[in-house]
Amino acid sequence: MTLNFKASDVTDGGMHTFEVGDQKVLVTRDGDDLHAFDALCPHAGADLGEGVRCGSRIVCPWHHATFHAGDGSLIEPPALEGLKEYRVKSDGESLSVDLEDEIKPPTPKPSHEDHHTVIIGGGASGFMVAQTLRHGGYAGKITMLTAENRAPYDRTALSKAYLSGKKPADKLALGGADWAKENKIDLREGVKVTKLDREAHEVHLDGDSLGFDAVIVATGATPNTLKVPGAELDGQYQLRSFQDAQALKDAAQGKNIVIIGSSFIGLEAASSLIEGAASITVIGQEAEIMSRALTPKVGRAIRKLHEDRGVKFHLNAEVEAIEGSGKAEAVRLKSGERIKADLVLLGIGVKPNSDLLSDLANKKGAVPVDAHLLAAPNVYAVGDIALAPTLLGEMRVEHWRVALQEGMTAAQSILESFDLEPMDRRVPFFWTQQYGKSLRYVGHAESLDDTHIWGNPDELKFIEFAFKDGQAVAASGMGMDNDLAAFEELLLLGRVLRAEEIRKGEFSLVERLK
């Protein structure tokens, strides 16, 4: 199939999606320089032409994966790879793109042939370290040690598409079913690391040890447990691993489910399980759901999404005990109320698994790292355990995209190739999806004492800004995707929006980029 078009069909400095049969082609233009790519984001299939272009950056409107407008290379996850590029041919005023004429990306020069990188952990960060190393020409040995009996997989899908039955288990693997083999990764599943000897450059396993030149500690986090009478009863579940999700999915059908915790994981699970459950009740300690990220007005609007589908809420509530004979049968609140529970799901936060670096960790278990994720010479800490610098300050972030960013950054450090920005030039971003509606959050706000809303949360079309010292440091929203993507780009450019300007009334953040 061939796309025929004129340069004037694409705005100079912009981009445009063309349809060619059942395919979509994205064309970028900078003067007489035109490039053509697959238009659909490789992460979740969004049309990139409906996203934001900022200089050389193409930003996906859904999850802010970012690609280079000149060659389609990956700049920011959650996409795991760049865009397929096609050759643009010129014949006078007419231009054409033959979809059979693909431009293969240049093969990087092999490096680090005698180098060994050991990755402890098979989650998002660890996966992205290995992926970025191989894509960057790393020719040394990569060993990945994971405690799970499973290759790296998309953990974000567990509480969403997997629990709801929309995504089967065999579609969860990151990079595909044969990723480790294709990338020459020595993947060892079901392995427990007992010690990390930094001085000797050795990782100790049960009865074995591995030497390393660089080690990545990507050990993730462990869900918190209840400390109340009855916490030992059967019928209580967590949602962190595939095994957790599989057990929960198998047990939940037709049950009266009580979810303890009113943040993202618990609410995503409620959204995914409600169709097959007899009932779902969510218990939260705060006055409103997701109160650390959203003001009560926005929280109420999202809570209504759940209530309209039959989910019940007990907020400002505290669990006093789990009751039952052998297994959970009810949750008793401190108010004295007793809620029937055939199944209890705990969504009360996590603690970082930083035991291997305990001497470096702070009191909360977070491991301080520099902008390239180094915790100590040749030792990198990434993902849920890392206390890392960002554009908005030092923080430990438990979100998927940040974990992937940290994996990319650590790999770039090993490669000694700093084409990508270090972590202190990056902005945190996360999303949640409930009942097919996506809430996206850019930046970071320590408090929600000073905020302003554009749009109407009750109509699920809004942006809520949070301010610090009169400047917008975070924005969450629904139904205004491009403005949220533009907000992130403005933060990256250092063009911070001031509170008084935002309070004057709505304007296009996309236009502000130009």
In terms of C-beta density within 10 A (0-12 exposed, 13-18 middle, 19 or more buried), how is residue 486 classed?
buried
Q: Among the CATH numbers 3.40.250.10, 3.40.50.2300, 1.10.287.130, 2.102.10.10, which is that of 2-103?
A: 2.102.10.10
* pLDDT above 90: residue 2: yes
**pLDDT bracket for residue 421 (50, 70, 90):** confident
Q: Are 21 and 8 in contact (CB under 8 A)?
A: no
Over residues 464-470, the mean pLDDT reads 98
**pTM of the model as a whole:** 0.97
Task: Write the CA distances from 342 to 38, 160, 329, 345, integer angstroms.
Answer: 48, 21, 5, 10
Q: Cα(399)–Cα(153) distance, rounded to whole angstroms?
A: 15
Cβ-proximal residues to 75 (8 Å cutoff; 6+ apart), any chain: 57, 66, 67, 68, 420
Long-range pairs for 278-282 at CB < 8 Å and ≥24 separation? 278/254, 278/342, 279/310, 279/312, 279/340, 280/310, 280/311, 280/312, 281/256, 281/257, 281/311, 281/312, 281/313, 281/314, 281/339, 281/341, 282/258, 282/306, 282/311, 282/312, 282/313, 282/314
| Three-class DSSP category at 9 | helix
CATH no., domain 116-222+351-425? 3.50.50.60
Q: Among the CATH numbers 3.50.50.60, 3.40.50.150, 3.40.50.1820, 3.40.50.300, which is that of 236-348?
A: 3.50.50.60
**pLDDT bracket for residue 352 (50, 70, 90):** very high
DSSP 2-45: EEEEEGGGS-TT-EEEEEETTEEEEEEEETTEEEEEE-B-TTT-
Are both 2-103 and 445-513 of the same fold? no
pLDDT at 207: 84
In terms of C-beta density within 10 A (0-12 exposed, 13-18 middle, 19 or more buried), how is residue 286 classed?
middle
- Identify any residues that bridge with 351 across adjacent strands, giving them in sequence order: 222
Give the pLDDT confidence of 75-109 residue by residue, as tens digits: 999 999 999 999 999 987 899 999 999 999 999 99
Phi, psi torsion values for 170, nearest 5 degrees: -75, 0
Cβ-proximal residues to 210 (8 Å cutoff; 6+ apart), any chain: 116, 118, 143, 202, 203
Give the pLDDT confidence of 145-203 residue by residue, as tens digits: 999 999 999 999 999 999 999 999 999 999 999 999 999 999 999 999 999 999 999 99
Q: Cα(377)–Cα(401) distance, rounded to whole angstroms?
A: 25
Q: Are 464 and 453 in contact (CB under 8 A)?
A: yes
Q: Are 120 and 218 in contact (CB under 8 A)?
A: yes
Residue 382: which of 369, 363, 401 has the closest Cα?
Answer: 369
H/E segment holding residue 442: strand 437-443
* pLDDT above 70: residue 381: yes
State the sign of the Cα–Cα–Cα–Cα dihedral 472, 475, 480, 484: positive
pLDDT at 159: 97
DSSP 401-426: HHHHHHHHHHHHHHHT---SPPGGG-
Over residues 108-124, the mean pLDDT reads 97
Domain 445-513 has CATH 1.10.3470: no
Q: Cα(227)–Cα(81) distance, rounded to whole angstroms?
A: 43
| Three-class DSSP category at 130 | helix
Over residues 480-492, the mean pLDDT reads 97
Q: Cβ of 2: how many Cβ atoms within 10 Å?
A: 12
pLDDT at 419: 65
List the domain boundaries for the chain. Answer: 2-103, 116-222+351-425, 236-348, 445-513
pLDDT at 514: 87
**pLDDT bracket for residue 144 (50, 70, 90):** very high
Over residues 132-152, the mean pLDDT reads 97
* pLDDT above 80: residue 417: no
Give the pLDDT confidence of 194-246 residue by residue, as tens digits: 999 999 999 999 889 999 999 999 999 999 999 999 999 999 999 999 999 99
Q: Are 77 and 174 in contact (CB under 8 A)?
A: no
* pLDDT above 80: residue 420: no
Over residues 462-478, the mean pLDDT reads 98
Q: What is the mean pLDDT of the chain?
A: 97
H/E segment holding residue 58: strand 57-59
* pLDDT above 90: residue 51: yes
* pLDDT above 70: residue 418: no
Q: Cα(206)–Cα(208) distance, rounded to whole angstroms?
A: 6
